[in-house]
Structure 1
């Protein structure tokens, strides 16, 4: 066992602590916001006014240090984590918020920092203390990615390169590679042979074209950097070098990029950026260079992604087409020689995927995943454990609401085969533990962002909850999952919102006059604070639910007998990238 690693027994003890906390509080996270008024959620769970909850949120977020909890004190006060032992309603908000902080991953103290992980890997590698070797000059990711993606790619790629060096391998498999940012950077910056696998052919085609243009920029950037270092003075900028490359209409570099105009595709890319302006960090990058690469990297931004369909459900024609495309891409790579370091492949990946059928040249490799959605993250860990050619793994998951749960009452039949995303560890499977979809949805909330002023869009949630009251009163029983679509953004008032929603649901509008609709709004408007406070409770519980999901994944790795190292690592700044934790493992 390497240093700074927690044992299986210690991880199981932390799981026990979080389980005990969630057994008392999980019902709040599972309360459906749509049913907030129809099920009278506030009075069911709360014995305090909403103002007290909101004021406690502010005061607790300003406190420093980790809270302490003693079981005997909880018993003496007649409460458990702030809930009355007799009524199961919340009576002490401060006790709840302090307990939530104590049962989050930072409070449990089980995570390593990125710097600690790098120190462990370098300190125990074949060349103790040796830094990871990059190819020539360092690429400046801010020149062709937004600040969130740049932060993620740069932080994770150095860790992956260290894992590859530690395991003495040169190949990386990027599962759910998407648009290929991480794959391209790993190949261009660290000289690793990267296979990017994504279920969307649109993504893999775009990633291949994007990588070609990034290679072109890489050559120009390094040429510029060498010239500056050699001459000690400014020469042509990287984008000027790039614009100057134009060997011919039939050549690989036949596109000349101009600077100074913004296309509709570029505007779409800017609009689809997943960085919130409230937390966007200013970079020192040249705006001309940034505009140039918005153009270069927006190949497929306005094209819809293909649905994630297992290969067993594809038509024979589609399977043959994908196989042909992958073979053609491999042939192109072989003919191009060793300079081609990134190969995008189209395939739906599960824990049972045979990697050698996808990658003929497969050697020992590191498997990575950056924000792999739903079940793909646990499938990545299952593949790592099952396949001897995978020497290490670095997996950052997201979209917990898309996880399948083996023991959830509404789980599908595929979960009966033990291939669900949660729980992954035998320790939690033996307990038949499940969270519930609404709780997993709550786990996606970003406490750090909300704490720094990026509040929840309360009015749209309020409109939807009051609409549900109207549907109950005038249209009979109505399931909360019934979707009304993106109606709020188009409506100019609550009455307009309800009219649009009723038309979307194909219900008779004539049952209600405008005055009737407005009366519902006016009746519930004074209770909007209850919904705000209740959702702040959900935000506070989010890190604890996420923590249990991630501890389960770490516990799964700890249960394996052939791993030399496994840990949870905070790779990213949670303000920039709320899903900031990676599960890292190395085989013996």
Structure 2
């Protein structure tokens, strides 16, 4: 009996994954992008895998070595060591198809300098802070290289990346998410940033006052009067800045949604000039304060809700209403570009961005862990819209991808998440849900001791056996979710789960539940071993999905450069690879 639908995908399917062809074509070169005078050229990745280590060969052909991991007759796995070596060989880190992040940044940087200012780890968790800092630096470099100031963040969630791009790098960001609760979360994020800004402002006043008094004590007596006068002027200006900032907040009109950023920036620059003229060696804290004041707006967030129930075509009345709202807003908004506007809308491959963003201009699309088909649709929109000059997309949730050849049903009008490139379409390639679920596992985390949640997986497996045998249910659209963490025992877990699945638990006594637990308890080690094999194979399946997206881009005629770049530490953020592309200079 198979627990938790653990249909083995090793055997013939695994060998198919372990011997993929390198399907990427060599890039056609990279033209300099609009707005860039840099002579740097984006690096070209090596698209041929490295030769296998001699210890792999053993005097036999590579295919023979890989095949010998499986029994020829039963196709069962018989050599775990060779299986692991083969899986490692066909991971992105070994194939040599990735472009180093350092090389990309070097080619993009031109004459630009890195920004300094707020630290996201003060209001984000470690994982999100790591992702946002690394990706925002790359996005800013691409935007500067292409000479654009507008960024569209697809699947923006609560706006972590969007708000940081806006405030730290002075970019105008539209964050689009299908969930209104996430859009509301963006407002909450902005509220916390305002509190963060005021705290820095208060600390800045005290720091400037303290430093000024120290400098006054160090100067000769004859300069005491002048120093006192300067200090008083400096503090008065600091107080004036805070008062004016408060006036801006008080005068803020909810229907407008924008802050008078020009006034705030002007006052900030005035304060910075005074400090520069009177203090030649400020403390590190003072510099940090000034940097924050320069990049952190008080309330630069506006919420547009363009959600509609079927995510289909907008009716003419909705289009007119949305455009009128946008025109009114544009008439009131500041001339500054560092604004973050969260939008609620469902994005598909056919989405017309101009229906959502009426002031759409040359821009780039980004996505930080866009789920399932959304990552694929981001690339499709990028290639179809001439105003989108670049894309930087990090996908996730491979198990949510739709597959063209997974089911034999003919759906000619549907746009599928996999495969994207013509090569795999011609091959009729299919992964299947089990394989895609495996691609979501984190090998690097397991390698450093963060083991799989074996007990919760075991609970879920036995639950499925109970549901099939007692209730006769083999398929269901309902999910038990994170029931395990809320349960005190296996019995409690089963009863909570049955309630979520809307199944009658009254005919299932506790003794029967525990009988099932005892019956399969000895197989927990089997389940753990099976899932460890899935973890080992996970990078191979991820390779297939990511190379499919890269090859799709390389099939397009208007792409100047495209590549895969490892952005994040895989222990902190397992889905760490970005698909990046820039269009030709002539594209318009």
CA contact (8 A) 1:79 1:85 kept: no
Please state if 1:149 is matched with 2:128.
yes
SS of equivalent to 1:464: helix
TM-score by length of 2: 0.70
SS in 1 for 2:550: helix
Which residue does 1:389 correspond to in 2?
387
Distance 1:401 1:76 in 2: 29
Is 1:119 aligned with 2:100? no
Structure-2 residue corresponding to 1:547: 543
> 1:369-518 to 2 correspondence within 5 Å?
369-409=367-407, 413=411, 416-417=412-413, 419-476=415-472, 478-479=474-475, 483-502=479-498, 504-505=500-501, 513-518=509-514
Distance change (3 Å), C-alpha of 1:32 and 1:148 = farther
Could you tell me which residue of structure 1 aligns to residue 567 of structure 2? 571
- 1:546-572 deviations in Å (ceiling 9; x for gaps): 111001000011111221111000111
Shift of 1:378: 0.9
- Find the aligned partners of 2:470 and 2:184 in 1 and give their Cα distance: 50
Contact 1:466-1:524 within 8 A present in 2 as well: yes
Q: Does the aligned pair in 2 maintain the 1:245–1:253 contact within 8 Å?
A: no
Shift of 1:80: 1.0
How far apart, CA to CA, are the structure 1 residues paired with 2:478 and 2:334?
54
Q: CA deviation at 1:227?
A: 9.4
1:131 pairs with 109, 112, 135, which one?
112
Who is 1:339 aligned against?
Answer: 336
Hey, what does 1:73 align to over in structure 2? 60
TM-score (norm 1): 0.70
Please tell me whether the aligned partners of residues 33 and 461 of structure 1 are also in contact (alpha carbons under 8 angstroms).
Answer: no
**In structure 1, what is the Cα distance between the partners aligned to 2:576 and 2:535?**
16
In structure 2, how many angstroms separate the alpha carbons of the residues matched to 1:455 and 1:244? 53
Match of 2:69 in 1: 82
Does structure 1 residue 95 correspond to structure 2 residue 95?
A: no
1:364 maps to 2:362: yes
Q: Answer yes or no: is the 8 Å Cα contact 2:153–2:162 preserved in 1.
A: yes
Q: Is the 8 A contact 1:174 1:367 kept in 2?
A: yes
SS of 1:552 mapped into structure 2: helix
CA positional deviation for 1:578: 1.0
Q: Residues 139-538 of structure 1: matches in 2 within 5 Å?
A: 139-207=118-186, 210-211=189-190, 214=193, 217=196, 221=200, 246-247=246-247, 250-252=250-252, 309-312=309-312, 324=321, 327-328=324-325, 331-339=328-336, 341-342=338-339, 343-409=341-407, 413=411, 416-417=412-413, 419-476=415-472, 478-479=474-475, 483-502=479-498, 504-505=500-501, 513-538=509-534
| Offset at residue 247 of structure 1 (A) | 3.4
Q: Structure 1 326/205 Cα, relative in aligned 2: closer, same or farther at 3 Å?
A: farther
Cα offsets for 1:208-260 (capped at 9, x unmatched): 56447647855875897799699867999x9xx98996438843499xxxxxx
User: Structure 1 pair 189/545, CA: closer, same or farther in 2 (3 Å)?
Assistant: same
Superposed CA deviations along residues 440-479 of structure 1, whole A, max 9, x for unmatched, are 1211111111211211111122122223333444444633
CA deviation digits over 1:284-325, x for unaligned, max 9?
A: xx9xxxxxxxxx99x9xxxxx9999543288x7xx9679756
Matched ranges for 1:13-92 at <5 A: 34-36=4-6, 69-70=56-57, 73=60, 80=67, 82-92=69-79
Q: What is the DSSP-based 3-state SS (H/G/I as helix, E as strand, rest coil) of the residue aligned with 1:435? A: coil
Q: Distance in 2 between matches of 1:525 and 1:97?
A: 27
1:277 aligned partner: none
Q: Deviations over 1:69-98 (max 9, x none)?
A: 449736897861611122100110000011
- The question of whether the paired residues in 2 share the 8 Å contact of 1:81 and 1:96 is answered with no
Which moved further from structure 2: 478-487 or 169-178? Answer: 478-487
Cα deviations by residue, 1:46-80 (Å, 9 ceiling, x for unpaired): xxxxxxxxxxxxxxxxxxx9856449736897861
Whose radius of gyration is greater, 1 or 2?
A: 2
Post-superposition CA distance 1:159-184 (Å, at most 9, x none) = 11111121122221212222222222
Count of aligned residue pairs for this structure pair: 475
The alpha carbon displacement at 1:430 in A equals 0.8
In 1: Cα distance, 2:191 partner to 2:327 partner: 15
In the TM superposition, residue 518 of structure 1 has moved relative to its aligned partner by: 2.7
1:42 and 1:569 map into 2 onto residues whose CA distance is 29
Pairing partner for 2:556 from 532, 557, 560: 560
Of 95, 106, 119, 2:93 maps to: 106
Unaligned runs of 5+ in 1: 1-30, 46-64, 255-285, 287-295, 300-304
Do the aligned residues in 2 keep the contact of 1:407 with 1:433 (CA within 8 Å)?
Answer: yes
Separation (CA, whole Å) in 2 of partners of 1:585 and 1:115: 16
Q: Unaligned regions of 5+ residues in structure 2, if any? A: 13-50, 215-233, 255-287, 289-297
Root mean square deviation, CA, Å: 4.1
Decide whether the 8 Å contact of 1:101 with 1:107 is kept in 2.
Answer: yes
Gap change, CA 1:334 and 1:344, over 3 Å in 2? farther
CA distance in 1, matches of 2:505, 2:188: 50
Q: Post-superposition shift, 1:491?
A: 3.5
Q: What is the distance in 1 between the residues matched to 2:60 and 2:387?
A: 52
* CA distance, structure 1, for counterparts of residue 11 and residue 504 of structure 2: 32
- Aligned partner of 1:289 in structure 2 is none
Answer whether contact 2:92 2:543 (CA < 8 A) is retained: yes
- Hey, what's the Cα distance between the residues in 2 that align with 1:420 and 1:432? 13
State how far apart, in whole Å, the 1-side matches of 2:503 and 2:405 are.
36
